[in-house]
Amino acid sequence: MNELRVFCPATIANVACGFDVLGLCLDHIGDEMVVRKTDNGKLSISRIEGQDLPFEADNNVAGVAAKALLEALGSEQGFDIEIYKKIKPGSGIGSSAASSAGAVFAVNKLLGEPFSLQELIPFAMEGEKLASGALHADNVAPALLGGFSLVRSYDPLDVIKLHSPSQLYASIIHPQIEVKTADARSVLKQSVPLKKAITQWGNVGGLVSGLYTEDYDLIGRSLHDVIVEPLRSLLIPRFNQVKQAAAKAGALGSGISGSGPSIFALSKGEQTAKKVAEAMGQVYSDSGVDFDLHVSRISHKGIHPIISNTP
């Protein structure tokens, strides 16, 4: 196999209470990439559609992630990458992670899979570092593994794939404003009061337990962030109104998707998720701010090959 086309799903990171440690994979929302072997020994990006992104491999998250993998192998195999972006950068649903993880998945596959999906995570994290300045795995892990991921530890890296309840759906609204990950990180405080920390890790434990027991009420009670959301929500217009509308429409809980500006809500069942999305959209309908709406089940597949002859 000398060429591979892959689907690179969007992701929701943090999932309210799990800043930098929790993430989930969405189903039909994502990018496509084509990666092929070349004979010139170079890593290149020949085509980017959908967004204005750097073609230089060292300045593109896909190039940086793929290069990290090749250096770890000591491989001089050349590769060319085509990127078809459908996830807007700065949207908060894992645009950079889709490219980073997609590149390492495809390169690894074309090289005969010397690394497991778990072992690909650190290489994809190098792309995230280029995008945000931080080596975080809460987007790239679910993009590669599918479902929910928990980063139990960063040093050493220890990522666990969690159970995903079958009736859990996500509704996402993306107001057309940009909140860069690096900027969103700059508003965070470096110390946390003990009382808030206790509340937060209780919610993380409750959420993980709720996922495994498929206790949707427990999931809803646990989707609360008392540390990051109060600071980052100030960057997102009408955030509190969206949360209130989602709750009224039947959502289990909601929060900022990644670093924003997208806002997510989790619901039991697709019909409720659609009602929640509609309610979230109503909040922005008279704001003068354009927005995109998505409803998706939680995908168990993660990045995967696709068969297609057109982008």
User: Would you name the residues annotated as active-site residues?
Assistant: 128, 181
Cα separation of 106 and 117, whole Å? 11
| CB-based contact 92:10 (threshold 8 Å) | no
Closest CA to 212 of 168, 165, 254, 166: 165
CA count, 13 A, side-chain hemisphere, 280: 35
Contact 285, 235 (CB under 8 A): no
Alpha-carbon distance of 100 to 153, in angstroms, equals: 20
Where is 57: in which H helix or E strand?
none
Query: In this structure, what token pair is assigned to residue 129?
Result: 């570092």
DSSP sequence for 116-158 = -HHHHHHHHHHHHHHHHSS---TTHHHHHH-SEEEEEEETTEE
Contact 275, 298 (CB under 8 A): no
Residues sharing a CB contact under 8 Å with residue 278, sequence separation 6 or more, in sequence order = 249, 293
